[in-house]
Homo-oligomer: A and B are copies of this chain.
């Protein structure tokens, strides 16, 4: 069931900045694992079923390292505020609705359906503080066939009472309850991830409790870091002892090292924080769309890549208005050009193949060997039909890929999607 050979215009970025684009080739999946890309099919694979995708593009699946499922409902609205105001005005009121199981089920079903039909094959997802709604979301995500981490949010201060856990003990108990409920569901593709919202909403007592839970359950961690200057000022006041924002997580074992961690944004990380991110092997979820929409700024991705940081892309719906990772790639390219122009002329803008790498291998690495078609990688693939975009002369596969990304063809052109060798979506 997990053997398939796809034939078409195969494109992937096996190394940072290196686009391997072929007009017609075979990509082989055996037992859910990629065996490589071949211009001519080797004899040894002749027994496997071949799916001829005609002239379609065949791409690796993409990873969304940072997305808020409950905010999907108001994506593309309320873009007139900076982070802290935006949370108070739009986000918290919407997240409160997820106390209602019916609402959560309907809203999360819409989210899961969109995830299924998107270019995203792996995702790291924030839910809300609500334990039951989070379980609902996880069951729905499992049904899509995507592989994802989903986190029940923890927060015990500085938010509406309906969204804050009574105290750290209650939060710990509730989180353990959630984890136990998840365990009983026996999900294969949907795993829990520890999710302190961000330091402004988490007391140190809560962080200490979460640290313990993380250790006991051996969980990965996701949170937000150095997104907005106002947020950073607030963290300085709330945790005056922390050397920098990220140190506030690190002192509770929630910042890489043993705890596999992804931090969203890192727009304004000072040098010491960047160094800690590198040393601890923390993944950076670069969210250019959101960082523009909320006027946060532009993360210095070129610098992060030069320093060898682990970087992937996040849609950050609904700070980002779209779950389309094609659109996020475009925004990453554009933002890097403005960073070069206005902030640092020595920081070379991202090249297309670099941004595509971030969306595929960069984020994929949070899930293991994921994000390209090299031998041994888990087989996540997209089949994309760009026939609706005619052209008066033939284009190369590389040109077609770039055009498809810039024009957001993931919204309408997806014909099939494979995750870890399983076909989870097929159209037409």
Interface residues of A (CB under 8 A from B): 73-80, 97, 103, 106-107, 110, 289, 292-298, 321-322, 330-331, 333-335, 337-338, 340-343, 349, 351-352, 390-393, 395, 399, 402-408, 411-412
Contact = CB atoms under 8 A, between A and B. Distances in A.
A352 B80 CA distance: 8
Contacts of A395: 77
Contact of A406 (B75, B97, B405): B75
A406 B338 contact: no
Contacts of A330: 321
A390 B114 CA distance: 10
A279 B334 CA distance: 33
28 contacts: A73-B391, A75-B403, A75-B407, A76-B402, A76-B405, A77-B399, A77-B406, A79-B333, A79-B352, A79-B402, A80-B352, A110-B390, A289-B334, A293-B333, A293-B334, A295-B340, A295-B349, A297-B342, A298-B338, A298-B342, A321-B330, A321-B407, A322-B407, A331-B334, A338-B342, A342-B343, A408-B408, A412-B412
List the 4 closest pairs (A to B, CB-CB), nearest first.
A76-B406, A76-B403, A295-B337, A292-B334
Given A333-B79, A390-B110, A411-B412, A406 B321 contact: yes
B334 A406 contact: no
B392 A107 contact: yes
Contacts of A294: 337
Nearest to A298: B338
Contacts of A79: 333, 352, 402, 406
A403 B292 contact: no
Nearest to A342: B342
Given A392-B73, A392-B106, A338 B295 contact: yes
Contacts of A76: 402-407
Contacts of A411: 408, 411-412
A65 B73 CA distance: 33
A412 B412 CA distance: 9
Nearest to A322: B407
Nearest to A100: B392
Contacts of A73: 391-393
